[in-house]
Amino acid sequence: MARFVAHGSLRLDGIVPPEMNEEALPFLAAGLPGIPYGTPVPEAYPADSFPRRLLQIPEVAGALRSLVGPDPLVDHHAVHIRQAKEGNAQPLHGDAIIDVRTDAFDVQLMYYPQDVTLEMGGTLSVPGSHLRRTNETDTGRYQNLLGQSRLVCPAGTVVFVHHGLWHGGRRNDSDTVRYMFKIRFNPTVRQQLLWGTSDLHTPAVREELTRGFPWYEQAAGRLEVHNRALLWRQLTGDDRFDLDHWVTRVTNRPTAVAAARTADTAGGESS
Amino acid sequence: MTIRQRVLVLYLTTSALDSKVVGWSRYDGTGRTTPTAGDSDEPPYTTGLDALLDGWRLIQASQLLPPSPGHEYDVSFLKHEFFFEQLVDA
């Protein structure tokens, strides 16, 4: 979870079995009908349907449970198709509209049924961009950021992303049509301690949460860590949690009144 | 002779023009190249100054604006944006 809070994504390589990936290609190519916003998973995807079986893969089910908890709602789903040699990329964007919740988040599942090569234009994403307050494609001017991720992955890879993560479908320069199936989930419970927490107080957690990314400006990078500390407080319920004293320092407003100075301690100072 | 503009946008790690490049975009008014999102992992220059040394002309730099009251800890767009141009014979 700490890694997700820092990166804004969780990548699970090749966890969908080959037979399901083969099944997925014609299924996705045929297109899926839309569903009403906010539909419970069992209503959105009947038992034995392809999406339902995808969500029942243990690694997928476990990640979803850890991130948004039990019984999330399906916000919407979509099949994204990048045509062979289609000549353009999506502008860098965050999905939906600006979403500045600090105590809850949606996740999007992105499933890649094929091997994705660099030439096929695998999804561009920017690690650690999910807490930036920007609206949809207003980031479209940014073509490349240092340390960006250009997805290259084996078939059957699933990536979960925070709703705010900057991303975009890259230009497909290959001769192969590329498919990606996306499902957005809304939590229905408070997102607090939903994951395995046996290692909550280990150094590895702080190491993840203080991670910097190459594209961060020097000053804003410190704010990113400050804001992660606030998010971690929400996710753990620990309102004293901090990273490198960033939050504690700037919220320190003592109210205790100092004891009156005595003649011995007043020294020679005067008003 | 037909002159066209090539534009380079660099995002730097501080407001100093000689600080390191953390982001970059290119637009080619000649139409000879078609830069786009996610087309490279390596920046064209290490610093903004390196672009000047290579002949790019700086035409715009971000203003230094204080944060809005109450939003001092918010993060949003990259703050240190520099626009450069080259005029080339098309």
Q: Are A122 and A112 in contact (CB under 8 A)?
A: yes
Q: Which of A133, A168, A215 sits opposite B22 (nearest CB)?
A: A215
| Domain parsing of chain A, residue ranges | 2-186, 203-250
Q: Which of A138, A141, A150 sits opposite B38 (nearest CB)?
A: A150
pLDDT of residue A262: 80
DSSP B29: T
List the Cα angle A207/A4/A171 in 5-degree steps.
Answer: 120
Residues A132, A98: Cα–Cα separation, whole Å:
9
| Residues facing residue A12 across a β-bridge | A158
The H-or-E segment that residue A75 falls in is strand A73-82
pLDDT of residue A22: 98
In sequence order, the 6+-apart residues with CB closer than 8 A to the CB of A214 are A146, A147, B22
Contact A89 B35 (CB under 8 A): no
Contact A223 B22 (CB under 8 A): no
Alpha helices in A57-212 (DSSP H): 58-68, 203-209
Instruction: Tell me whether 0.90 is exceeded by the ipTM.
Output: yes
pLDDT of residue A56: 98
- B-chain residues within 8 Å CB-CB of A101? none
Question: How far from each other are the two terminal CA atoms of chain A, in whole angstroms?
Answer: 54
Strand blocks (E) in B13-77: 21-28, 57-61
Pairing mode, strands B81-89 and B57-61: antiparallel
State the smallest CA–CA distance between residue A249 and chain B in angstroms.
13
Contact A150 B41 (CB under 8 A): yes
Residues A215, B66: Cα–Cα separation, whole Å:
21
Order of strands, sheet of B3-12, starting from the edge strand that comes earlier in the sequence: A144-145, B21-28, B3-12, B81-89, B57-61
pTM, two decimal places: 0.95
**CATH class (in words) of the domain with range A2-186:** mainly beta
pLDDT of residue A261: 86
Q: Which of B22, B74, B79 sits opposite A145 (nearest CB)?
A: B22
Closest CA to B11 of B62, B74, B59: B62
Residues 13-72 of B with CB under 8 A from A: 13-14, 19, 21-26, 34-41, 43
The percentage of chain B sitting over the pLDDT mark of 90, rounded to a whole number, equals 98
- A-chain residues within 8 Å CB-CB of B36? 88-89, 143, 170-171
Per residue in B19-75, pLDDT (tens digit) is: 999 999 999 999 999 999 999 999 999 999 999 999 999 999 999 999 999 999 999
| Domain parsing of chain B, residue ranges | 3-89
Is B90 an 8 Å CB contact of chain A? no
| Residues of chain A below pLDDT 70 | 263-271
Order of strands, sheet of A167-168, starting from the edge strand that comes earlier in the sequence: A149-150, A124-125, A167-168
